[in-house]
Amino acid sequence: MPAPVDPRARSTDALGRPLPRRPAAPAAGAQGASPTAADIAAVGALPIEASTPGEQPAGLQRRAAAWCVDLLLLTPLLAVLLRGPLERGIHAGLALFDALQAWMLESVLSAASAGGRQSLLGLAHAAMSDPVLRQSLEAEAATMQAALFSALLRSSAVLACYFIAFEASAWAATPGKRLLKLRVADMAGAPPGLRRAALRFAAGGLSWLTLNIGHAMAGLRRDHRALHDLVAGTQVLGRGATPPWARAVLFAMLLLVLFSPLLVVLVAFARLA
């Protein structure tokens, strides 16, 4: 009659020799679990996209809507600071146009009274050869350049203080981003701090200089990181979906950008009429 089988785990075989030990099975839920923050920080292999449950990398549309909200909040301050330089630039541009128009009218009338006709190419050559007109145009162009540079410098200073201060704060977000439940974080999900926030703002100039291709990268990449995020080692995280009102704000700003040149031309012609 065979001996009863011992249900307990045996450490030796029938001859008394020790059996090889099997590796312990992984704990329940450990297999297939995502790497922890400590694991990733140790090996530096993968970025952590969110440290708060429900957060995901924010898309281009939502980020653009937050930027539009911030710009609307800054518009009153920018209007006060930029009024002087913009008025000087506009007046210089209109004066340049008036001087060129008056010279062309005088040249055409002089050619007509002499019984001749002058082509547009001939007028352009004559205008470049006229020292008085050329000096006047150069003076007005220099005034325009100085006014535009002053406006750019003032607006850059305001934007730098606004974005760096808010994104380096405990919010890690500007009011526009916070309203849309967005925040800026490093690749471990922590607040970016002052150094990263300043680097991110400075690198934002590259996104503008590339004709907004740097911004468009946030809509093309899977992690939705723009060029300045790649340079600064940051990401923008968000919770929930984009609200409908944010899309409306974005659409209104797009229309304003498209039709603002036409508005400037209409104002200039109304002044000359």
Task: Kindly report, residue by residue over 163-214, the tens digit of the pLDDT.
Answer: 999 999 999 999 999 999 999 999 999 999 999 999 999 999 999 999 899 9
Question: Confidence class of residue 19 from pLDDT cuts 50, 70 and 90?
Answer: low
Which of the two residues, 266 and 184, has the higher pLDDT score? 184
Would the pLDDT of 5 be above 70? Answer: no
Distance CA 168, CA 93 (A): 40
148 DSSP assignment: H
The reported pLDDT for the residue numbered 90 is: 87
The reported pLDDT for the residue numbered 117 is: 64
pTM reported for the whole predicted model: 0.70
Enumerate helices (H) and strands (E) in the chain, giving the number of each.
9, 3
Three-class DSSP category at 189: coil
Which of the two residues, 237 and 90, has the higher pLDDT score? 237
Distance CA 227, CA 202 (A): 11
Main-chain dihedrals φ then ψ at residue 269, nearest 5 degrees: -70, -35
Instruction: Order across the sheet with 234-239: list the strands.
Output: 55-57, 234-239, 182-186
Do 86 and 148 contact (CB within 8 A), yes or no?
Answer: no
Give the tens place of pLDDT for each residue, 90-138: 898 888 888 888 887 777 777 666 666 666 676 677 777 778 888 888 8
